[in-house]
Structure 1
Amino acid sequence: MKLTRRGVIQAAAALGAVQALGCASTPKAGPGPGPAAEEPKSKPLSILILGGTRFLGPALVETAKARGHTLTLFNRGKTNPGLFPDVEKLQGDRDPGKGEGLKALQGRKWDVVIDTSGYYPRIVKASADLLAPDVGQYVFISSVSVYKEMTKPNLTEADAVATIDPSAKEEITETSYGAFKALCEQASEAAFPGRALSIRSGYIVGPDDGSDRFTYWPLRVAKGGEMLAPGDGEDPVQFIDARDLAAFIIRGAERRTMGIFNVTGPAKPIKMRAMLEGIQQATGGDARFTWVDSAFLAQQKVMPMAEIPIWAARTGPEGGLGSVNIDRAMQAGLTTRPLADTVRDTLAWFSTLPPERQEKQRAGIKPEQEQEMLNAWKQSKGAAKAG
């Protein structure tokens, strides 16, 4: 999944690399903390997941199984094929024109379908149209990248979404990702009028995150020493542990929740300084944060969301992504676990990866570049004083 248009290509490449690596999901994904997680279980549901074997997918499977539901996974059988041997698996292709296409889904009935792998409206329309007569609810995993005005703080579900010609080339780019996701939402709602749930998720983080976007920060803080910290520490940041997102989605299926929801966190707003200090407390690292002005980083062509993942300057072109309104989701029962829990679990998972994988982090500023930026920042400050 990609959360900003600028970083979408890097994110897609990272996800592809994870798919090629085929790392199994190691953490057990439980429901989020708090009263919502302790509510009585609903009657067992039959749930079809389109995808299901990478990152959010396994979190959904584990959460649903823990709550007594029956799962079926539909995918190509190429990513982590040995995962969940006790779960029914159907093979095919989201694209009805490739191989057997969606034939394995024909004539089957489920209570709910959760679409974790839809990026193009044609593909989502094909599965939604096929399943509509025999499935009660369509849950589509969308993104906060659907919004047209990324600079706007406090984006709500009522804000305008990006647009694109439906016949545009099916290719993920900085400008097409969010617009295609918006069209996918519309395709699912058209096939399931009044029976669709669109989850506009923020950054999904935690164990099994092959993009390393959030993981970079705990690893860097734990390493210690002088560390480049972006901005002035006051930029808001948002992210959600995949296990908390999965818990919200499964509860939404149980409650037959419909409509559109921004789903990110934490539940209590947090700024970049507080996030880094919280990570430091969780890791026990001795990193020394040197805050580098966002304008200076822009001059040095250090890109938010790429070299500096998760963060974006609040006055920048994607500044609104750190303060998306999640009131609707909170009212619908969203809970988020403490930052420290996500940090510790993420580091524990990362430590299980092969050494060669650990040495090739897929996000964050490289050590050499970080030192260059710190040196340049100090020189600029010194020159300013001398002037």
Structure 2
Amino acid sequence: MTTRRDLLKFSALAAAAATLPSFALADEKAKPVGRAKKPLDILILGGTGFTGPFQVNYALARGHKVTLFNRGKRPSPEWPGEVEQLFGDRNTGDLKSLAGRKWDVCIDNPTSLPFWVRDAGKVLAGNVGHYLFISTISVYADGSTPGIDEDDALAVYKGRDAMAETQDSLRADIENLYGPLKALSEAEARKQFGERVTIVRPGYIVGPRDETDRFTYWPHRVAQGGEMLVPGDGADPVQVIDGRDLGEWMIRLAEAGTLGTFNAVGPEKPLTMDGMLRACERATGGKPKYTHVTPEFLEEQKVAELPIWVSRKAGPFAGYGAVSNARAIQAGLTYRPLETTVTDLMAWFRSQPAERQATLRAGITREQEAALLKAWHARKA
């Protein structure tokens, strides 16, 4: 039920995330963040979207110096320390504020276009010791088989000129361009910055600040109780990673100078659809009655969107719920309990304006769900 079109659609929504004053929430009882052995001068391209603020907060807590580069279109949170802000626009090639500066590390968060990496390289190559690029599991050519790992073949660009692609052309053909252009962006990173490159490939990023409502749909619906439609038999694999786990790990990768390519998917151990829902129950207190329906029924009913869930029968996307994260775990990626992610997500969501909470941006409405359940029960009668 998930396609590359969905992934980019929701990535665009995530880029519009509202500010979040605190990154701790229910995590406040966690161990205090220790200082890094060696403070770094870190440049973050972006930094005010979904995961960027988690990177900034964690980097400051670790004693690093942080500089942000972006267009200044979104308000910045109130940082718990000094953060330098540089302005420019990568769409137009305006990177003048970066010229003549040096940083130990550059973290590139928002890039989906190869020319953004090329232009950054023209200004930063030789002035940055380590370049970390956030990519996506959508770069893989074949997403149909569970166990996708970092050495699998990547999607091939079939357009005329990858460097001429823009955000408009990407949006116009998202399903065919998103993965291949991300793959070419990775290649351009290595071309511009040489061996000192780290590629991180997340799947679904969730938790507080997530404006897409992809994951939020499930705990929100569980909390409401009553009869609840669940796709599949409950055994389909699910992979999500808390944005804080991703953001903080990026800083630790920078501190360690870790190079290579990593699938940043979670949780640590396999999770099923029913397992995810039970975690939502424990976190929200909701006690719905689950009614599992088949993928074939949903297809017949023309249900286009039940987020996060990927059916084992989903053809080219069947492997997206079971991507290998062994290499990332070996490189120090750690995970909060899913219940913590759900608790913090719902606390953040319920702090949003009433009109924002009124209509979720993903999933189906209660009216649609009721109609589907009625049709399902009629078929089984």
Q: Measure the CA separation in 1 of the matches of 2:39 and 2:235.
A: 45
The residue type equivalent to 2:54 in the other structure is: A
Structure 2: segments with no counterpart, 5+ residues = none
Provide the secondary structure at the position in 2 that maps to 1:270. Answer: coil
Name the structure 2 match of 1:218: 219
TM-score (norm 1): 0.90
Provide the secondary structure at the position in 2 that maps to 1:108. Answer: coil
Structure 1 residue 331: deviation in Å? Answer: 0.6
Q: Measure the CA separation in 2 of the matches of 1:275 and 1:155.
A: 21
CA contact (8 A) 1:15 1:210 kept: yes
Structure 1 residue 302: deviation in Å? Answer: 1.4
CA 1:8–1:184 in 2, change beyond 3 Å: closer, same or farther?
same
User: Please, which of 87, 90, 96 is the counterpart of residue 83 of structure 2?
Assistant: 87
1:256-295 aligned within 5 A: 256-295=257-296
**1:129-169 Cα distance to aligned partner (Å, 9 max, x none):** 32111100110000011111111110000001111136154
CA contact (8 A) 2:34 2:62 kept: no
Q: Measure the CA separation in 1 of the matches of 2:21 and 2:160.
A: 38
Structure 1 residue 343: deviation in Å? Answer: 0.5
Provide the secondary structure at the position in 2 that maps to 1:48. Answer: strand
Structure 2 residue 161 is the aligned partner of structure 1 residue 167: yes
Name the structure 1 match of 2:309: 311
CA contact (8 A) 2:47 2:53 kept: yes
Name the structure 2 match of 1:359: 358
CA contact (8 A) 2:206 2:241 kept: yes
Comparing 5-14 and 355-364, the one that deviates more:
5-14
CA 1:337–1:113 in 2, change beyond 3 Å: closer, same or farther?
same
**1:36-88 Cα distance to aligned partner (Å, 9 max, x none):** 99777230000000000111010110111111111000000111146438311
Q: Measure the CA separation in 1 of the matches of 2:83 and 2:160.
A: 36
Provide the secondary structure at the position in 2 that maps to 1:47. Answer: strand
The residue type equivalent to 1:5 in the other structure is: R
Name the structure 2 match of 1:340: 339
Runs of 4+ off more than 2 Å: 12-16, 35-42, 81-86
Q: Measure the CA separation in 2 of the matches of 1:214 and 1:37.
A: 28
**1:250-285 Cα distance to aligned partner (Å, 9 max, x none):** 110001011110011000111001110111111110
CA contact (8 A) 2:71 2:89 kept: yes
Q: Measure the CA separation in 2 of the matches of 1:321 and 1:167.
A: 28
Name the structure 2 match of 1:51: 46
1:183-332 aligned within 5 A: 183-303=184-304, 307-317=305-315, 318-332=317-331
Q: Measure the CA separation in 2 of the matches of 1:166 and 1:184.
A: 16
Provide the secondary structure at the position in 1 that maps to 2:175. Answer: coil
CA contact (8 A) 1:37 1:247 kept: no
Provide the secondary structure at the position in 1 that maps to 2:230. Answer: strand
CA 1:178–1:274 in 2, change beyond 3 Å: closer, same or farther?
same
Q: Measure the CA separation in 2 of the matches of 1:13 and 1:158.
A: 28
Q: Measure the CA separation in 1 of the matches of 2:24 and 2:88.
A: 26
CA contact (8 A) 1:96 1:126 kept: no
**1:4-58 Cα distance to aligned partner (Å, 9 max, x none):** 4141353155346x36xxx22233159x99x999777230000000000111010
Provide the secondary structure at the position in 1 that maps to 2:135. Answer: strand
The residue type equivalent to 1:225 in the other structure is: G
Comparing 126-135 and 260-269, the one that deviates more:
126-135
CA 1:149–1:315 in 2, change beyond 3 Å: closer, same or farther?
same
Q: Measure the CA separation in 1 of the matches of 2:241 and 2:120.
A: 27
CA contact (8 A) 1:64 1:70 kept: yes
Name the structure 2 match of 1:350: 349
Q: Measure the CA separation in 2 of the matches of 1:87 and 1:166.
A: 41
CA contact (8 A) 2:241 2:266 kept: yes
Aligned length: 369
Cα root mean square deviation, aligned: 2.2
The residue type equivalent to 1:336 in the other structure is: Y
**1:310-367 Cα distance to aligned partner (Å, 9 max, x none):** 1110121311010000010011111101011001000100111111111121111111
Provide the secondary structure at the position in 2 that maps to 1:268. Answer: coil
TM-score (norm 2): 0.92
CA contact (8 A) 1:216 1:364 kept: yes
CA 1:29–1:76 in 2, change beyond 3 Å: closer, same or farther?
farther
Provide the secondary structure at the position in 2 that maps to 1:54. Answer: coil
